[in-house]
């Protein structure tokens, strides 16, 4: 994996998604919560980007903002979200829906509550393909290719020969609802195999409550992959799972890297997960990006005092410590956030300028950016 | 367990429910009255004391050792069968089909059996209650959905006003207002637009002049009209139902709308809706396929209760619109000691409620795969 990762990490790599100066606030009864205060990062094609930080630091808000899924009381104050150059913040509701359908897909934290309890899991995957005419050509093409493969291998049954001929004759014409459903189901079963769900034909008709947590998470991953998105936003996908199942899901993600062209944004608070499968890491604190670096660089040379604190607070079995280190203080109240650098009240290295100046994100070493006044700005 | 096994098991339980209910009603009505009331529906004025004593003995109220009717009427010692014995005597009589003659006011004594009177009247009440339930569901479900998808906006406020006025307005008053408006003021060719009600409209502008003949097969005017292929009669029987049904449904529309709204608002805030939206599904699919299916569960329970509620609540409507239903008769029966009519009314209502609950439970299991019967 390391060699593959280093190939994909070339600095000239094409940027798929770019978030620039994103500011989001929520209007609540208590006041305006400034959840995001200028978030900048970019996602390169094919990479796995880790988005890390404590609960409430704005990771999920960033993801929801990218999909246009923020709640009604949220307001995007400033910024741009560029997906291959087009600004998602300028899209209409329906264009955004199309973007979610085809280009940006989500996997959420808790597979128990995020999958509709009263619909069969298979139908919840297949409905995506059935919902849009745009998938039709893809489905037909895919089925023809599949039949062709079967033909070269073992030959076709007469029914399959007939099916192939009728599909080839179809090409640009409209599929009937029944055959659309059938093709969508075949494709769904295929993706259920891809995410290693056992016995897909049976699981297709099962309901979420009949599946284990790991299987449900695989179902959600299949939902995200079946439309072949450009960016996959995975929000705390391992948090609600047992440790062994976590490992399985992570291994699945790692194995899928080669097979899918999607870039993955892995949102997590678990630095262990980050070190396992991410190429680059974005560290967030209280609505700001504080550090961006390649994963090995970040673990070897953390620059921001917050990142240093985070890494120091991981208990390590090889080093004897009397006490697990922690960052003193708590996550700031975002209704009235600290002035200047939002981390300064908890920072062990603060000096007199910290409360006064908001540090810009500056590139200290190639590919390693940090927002801290210790490094200039 | 298979579906039909479950249904059969529930129907078997129904027998026990009915027995217990019959005993309860028997105890409340007969147990608190002098034993002579047991004869009310079976006695004729010309019967001699000796005949009356034999009747009382046949009905299982007087003991075989009772010397005279006078002794029975004064509840002399050893003359009265204990209450549980009376109950079995009564059960034997009614199960053999003898429900006695009705003593309801408006019927010539000793001419109509209670059984017949009940079943001639019952279809009218059932039509009202079923019509009211259908109307409630047809209006409340779309209204509830719109209120939820536009929560705290104009459509929601409007439906809230409709709902709260609905269950605040007294039914008899609203029915009266409807009659005044549609029968007196809104007229066509000098006749009221809609009929006041009653068994069959005879004078309304938009109905056909001559309903023609209809073979009574079920007693339900609407169904008989369909079976006889008589379209004018069918139309008339539907038009005749409009005002009473609207009045009846007013209360329940409000209740069901608010319940569906709240369960729908709740469903729309669930995580699975966020996932459905994140999949790029159209709003229509998100609302109807993903939210409504979950939100319908509590609403279905209420819809089942509504039918039962309307069956009982129909009494006022029957008075206001002069409908010859069982509700009106049941009130009269309780004051004129037509005890068998009361028993029949309670038992049939119980059967309907149990069956409705069964349908609700089956639907529930169909909609929510997590529920097993």
Angle at B220 between CA B204 and CA B172, to 5 degrees: 55
User: Across-strand partners of B299?
Assistant: none
Q: Using the beta-carbon criterion (under 8 Å), do B280 and A99 form an inter-chain contact?
A: yes
Closest partner residue to B279 (CB to CB) among A119, A128, A209 is A128
What is the distance in angstroms between the Cα of B158 and the nearest Cα belonging to chain A?
22
Pairing of strands A74-83, A86-87: antiparallel
Per-residue b/e over A102-120, b at no fewer than 16 CB within 10 Å? bbbbbbbbbbbbbbbbbbb
Q: Using the beta-carbon criterion (under 8 Å), do B280 and A207 form an inter-chain contact?
A: no
Backbone angles phi, psi at A64, to 5 degrees: -65, -35
Closest partner residue to A131 (CB to CB) among B270, B278, B285 is B285
Percent of chain B with pLDDT over 70: 92
Confidence of residue B192 (pLDDT cuts 50, 70, 90): low
Q: How far is CA A376 from CA A110, A287, A372, B291, in A?
A: 41, 21, 7, 52
Q: Using the beta-carbon criterion (under 8 Å), do A116 and B294 form an inter-chain contact?
A: yes
Residues A121 and A128 sit within 8 Å (Cβ to Cβ)? no
With contacts defined as CB-CB under 8 Å, which chain B residues touch A100? 277-280
Among B279, B289, B293, B366, the residue to mutate for chain A (most A Cβ within 10 A) = B279
Q: How far is CA B195 from CA B232, B251, B281, B308, B313, in A?
A: 15, 22, 48, 26, 21
Q: Using the beta-carbon criterion (under 8 Å), do B274 and A132 form an inter-chain contact?
A: no
In this prediction the ipTM stands at 0.89
The set of residues, in sequence order, having a beta carbon less than 8 Å from that of A211 and lying 6+ positions away, is: A121, A203, A219
Q: Using the beta-carbon criterion (under 8 Å), do A97 and B280 form an inter-chain contact?
A: yes
Angle at A142 between CA A186 and CA A132, to 5 degrees: 75
Q: How far is Cα A147 from Cα A129, in angstroms, rounded to an integer?
A: 20
What is the distance in angstroms between the Cα of A128 and the nearest Cα belonging to chain B?
7
Q: Which structure tokens are listed for A141? A: 């093409």
Per-residue b/e over B145-164, b at no fewer than 16 CB within 10 Å? bbbbbebeeeebeebbebbe
Compare B239 and A287 and report the one with higher pLDDT.
Answer: A287
- Taking one residue from A and the other from B, the number of pairs with CB-CB distance under 8 angstroms is 76
Residues B286 and B353 sit within 8 Å (Cβ to Cβ)? no
| Residue B152 clears pLDDT 80, i.e. is over it | yes
pLDDT tens-place values along chain A, 377 residues long: 344 444 444 444 689 999 999 999 999 998 999 999 999 999 999 899 999 988 889 999 999 999 999 998 999 999 999 999 899 999 999 999 999 999 999 999 888 899 999 999 999 999 999 988 888 888 888 888 888 888 888 777 888 888 888 887 776 677 788 888 999 999 999 999 999 999 999 999 999 999 998 999 999 999 999 989 999 999 988 888 888 888 888 888 888 887 888 899 999 988 888 998 899 999 999 999 999 999 999 999 999 999 999 988 887 777 666 677 788 888 888 888 999 999 999 999 999 999 999 999 999 999 999 999 999 77
Q: Is B356 left (phi over 0), alpha (psi -120 to 50) or beta?
A: alpha
Whole-number pLDDT of residue B205? 44
Confidence of residue B294 (pLDDT cuts 50, 70, 90): very high
**Nearest C-alpha in B relative to A125:** B279
Half-sphere exposure of A26 (CA within 13 A, CB side): 18
Closest partner residue to B270 (CB to CB) among A102, A113, A209 is A113
Contacts of B264-269 spanning 24+ positions with Cβ under 8 A? B264/B144, B264/B145, B264/B147, B264/B148, B264/B149, B264/B291, B264/B292, B264/B295, B265/B148, B265/B151, B266/B295, B267/B291, B267/B292, B267/B294, B267/B295, B268/B148, B268/B149
What average pLDDT does chain B have? 86
**Displacement of CA A151 from its chain's centroid (Å):** 38
Q: H-type helices in A13-157, by residue range?
A: 59-67, 93-102, 111-114, 121-130, 134-154
pLDDT, average across residues B196-219: 57
Residues A236 and A267 sit within 8 Å (Cβ to Cβ)? yes
Residues of A with CB under 8 A from a CB of B: 67, 69, 97-102, 105-106, 108, 110, 113-120, 127-128, 131-132, 207, 209, 220, 223, 227
Pairing of strands A288-294, A48-52: unpaired
- What is the number of H-type helices and E-type strands within chain B? 14, 2
Q: Using the beta-carbon criterion (under 8 Å), do A220 and B275 form an inter-chain contact?
A: yes
Q: Using the beta-carbon criterion (under 8 Å), do A127 and B293 form an inter-chain contact?
A: no
Q: Can you tell me whether residue B101 is helix, strand or coil?
A: strand
Tracing tokens 């891809």 back to the chain, one arrives at A194
Of A56, A113, A45, A60, give the one whose Cα is nearest residue A260. Answer: A45
Q: How far is Cα B72 from Cα B66, in angstroms, rounded to an integer?
A: 7
Q: Using one digit for the tens of pLDDT, what is the confidence trace for B10-31?
A: 899 989 999 999 999 899 888 8
Closest partner residue to A114 (CB to CB) among B275, B293, B368 is B275
Q: How far is Cα B300 from Cα B60, in angstroms, rounded to an integer?
A: 45
pLDDT, average across residues B52-62: 89
Of A93, A45, A50, give the one whose Cα is nearest residue A68. Answer: A93
pLDDT, average across residues B212-234: 76
Q: Using the beta-carbon criterion (under 8 Å), do B281 and A127 form an inter-chain contact?
A: yes
Confidence of residue B291 (pLDDT cuts 50, 70, 90): very high
Compare B222 and B265 and report the one with higher pLDDT.
Answer: B265
Closest partner residue to A98 (CB to CB) among B271, B272, B280 is B280
Q: How far is Cα B102 from Cα B252, in angstroms, rounded to an integer?
A: 33
Confidence of residue B200 (pLDDT cuts 50, 70, 90): low
Rg of chain A (C-alpha set): 23
Q: Using the beta-carbon criterion (under 8 Å), do B279 and A223 form an inter-chain contact?
A: yes
Among A118, A207, A209, A230, the residue to mutate for chain B (most B Cβ within 10 A) = A118
What is the distance in angstroms between the Cα of A73 and the nearest Cα belonging to chain B?
13
What is the distance in angstroms between the Cα of B270 and the nearest Cα belonging to chain A?
8
With contacts defined as CB-CB under 8 Å, which chain A residues touch B270? 113
The pTM assigned to this predicted structure is 0.84
Q: Using the beta-carbon criterion (under 8 Å), do B278 and A67 form an inter-chain contact?
A: yes
**Nearest C-alpha in A relative to B297:** A118
Q: Using the beta-carbon criterion (under 8 Å), do B272 and A115 form an inter-chain contact?
A: yes
């Amino acid at each position: 994996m390391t060699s593959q990762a280093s190939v994909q990490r070339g600095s000239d790599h094409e940027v798929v998604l770019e978030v620039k100066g994103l500011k989001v606030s929520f209007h609540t009864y208590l006041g305006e919560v400034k959840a995001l205060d200028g978030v900048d990062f970019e996602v390169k094609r094919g990479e796995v980007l880790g988005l890390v930080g404590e609960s409430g630091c704005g990771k999920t808000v960033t993801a929801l903002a990218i999909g246009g899924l923020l709640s009604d009381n949220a307001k995007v104050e400033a910024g741009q979200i560029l997906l291959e150059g087009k600004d998602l913040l300028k899209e209409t509701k329906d264009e955004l829906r199309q973007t979610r359908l085809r280009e940006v897909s989500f996997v959420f934290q808790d597979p128990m509550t995020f999958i509709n309890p009263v619909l069969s899991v298979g139908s919840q995957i297949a409905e995506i393909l059935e919902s849009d005419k745009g998938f039709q050509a893809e489905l037909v093409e895919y089925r023809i290719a599949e039949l062709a493969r079967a033909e070269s291998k073992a030959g076709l049954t007469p029914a399959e020969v007939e099916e192939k001929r009728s599909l080839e004759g179809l090409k640009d014409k409209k599929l009937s609802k029944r055959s659309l459903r059938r093709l969508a189901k075949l494709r769904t079963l295929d993706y259920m195999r891809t995410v290693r769900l056992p016995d897909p034909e049976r699981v297709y008709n099962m309901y979420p409550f009949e599946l284990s947590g790991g299987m449900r998470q695989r179902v959600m991953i299949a939902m995200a992959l079946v439309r072949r998105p450009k960016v996959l936003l995975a929000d705390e996908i391992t948090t609600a799972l047992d440790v062994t199942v976590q490992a399985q899901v992570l291994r699945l993600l790692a194995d899928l890297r080669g097979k899918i062209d999607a870039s993955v944004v892995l949102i997590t608070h678990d630095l262990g997960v980050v070190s396992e499968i991410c190429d680059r890491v974005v560290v967030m604190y209280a609505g700001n990006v504080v550090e961006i670096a390649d994963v090995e660089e970040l673990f070897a040379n953390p620059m921001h005092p917050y990142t240093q604190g985070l890494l120091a607070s991981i208990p390590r079995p090889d080093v004897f410590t009397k006490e697990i280190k922690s960052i003193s203080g708590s996550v700031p109240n975002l209704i009235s956030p600290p002035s200047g650098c939002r981390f300064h009240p908890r920072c062990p290295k603060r000096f007199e300028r910290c409360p006064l100046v908001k540090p810009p994100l500056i590139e200290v070493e190639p590919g390693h950016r940090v927002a801290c006044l210790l490094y200039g700005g | 367990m298979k579906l039909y096994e479950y249904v059969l098991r529930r129907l078997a339980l129904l027998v026990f429910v009915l027995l217990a209910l019959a005993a309860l009603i028997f105890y409340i009505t007969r147990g608190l009255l002098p034993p002579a009331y047991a004869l009310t529906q079976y006695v004729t004025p010309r019967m001699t004391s000796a005949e009356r004593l034999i009747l009382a003995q046949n009905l299982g109220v007087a003991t075989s050792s009772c010397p005279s009717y006078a002794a029975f009427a004064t509840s002399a010692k050893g003359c009265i069968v204990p209450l549980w014995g009376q109950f079995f005597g009564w059960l034997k009589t009614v199960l053999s089909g003898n429900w006695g003659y009705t003593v309801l006011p408006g019927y010539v004594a000793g001419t109509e059996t209670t059984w017949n009177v009940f079943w001639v009247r019952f279809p009218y009440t059932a039509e009202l209650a079923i019509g009211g339930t259908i109307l409630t569901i047809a209006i409340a479900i779309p209204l509830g959905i719109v209120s939820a998808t536009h929560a705290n906006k104009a459509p929601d406020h409007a439906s809230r006003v409709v709902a709260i006025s609905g269950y605040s307005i007294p039914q008899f008053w609203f029915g009266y207002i409807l009659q005044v408006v549609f029968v007196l003021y809104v007229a066509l060719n000098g006749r009221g637009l809609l009929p006041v009600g009653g068994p069959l409209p005879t004078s309304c502008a938009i109905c056909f002049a001559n309903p023609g003949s209809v073979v009574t097969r079920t007693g339900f005017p609407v169904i008989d009209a369909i079976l006889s292929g008589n379209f004018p009669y069918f139309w008339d029987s539907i038009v005749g139902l409009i005002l009473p049904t609207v009045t009846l449904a007013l209360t329940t529309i409000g209740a069901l709308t608010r319940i569906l709204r709240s369960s729908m608002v709740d469903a729309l805030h669930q995580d699975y809706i966020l996932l459905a939206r994140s999949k790029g599904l159209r709003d229509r699919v998100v609302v109807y396929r993903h939210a409504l299916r979950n939100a319908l569960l509590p609403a279905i329970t209420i819809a089942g209760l509504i039918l039962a509620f309307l069956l009982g609540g129909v009494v006022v409507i029957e008075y206001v619109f002069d409908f010859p239903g069982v509700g009106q008769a049941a009130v009269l029966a309780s004051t004129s000691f037509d005890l068998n009519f009361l028993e029949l009314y309670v038992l049939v209502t119980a059967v309907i409620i149990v069956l409705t609950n069964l349908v609700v439970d089956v639907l529930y299991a169909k909609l929510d795969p997590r529920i097993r019967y």
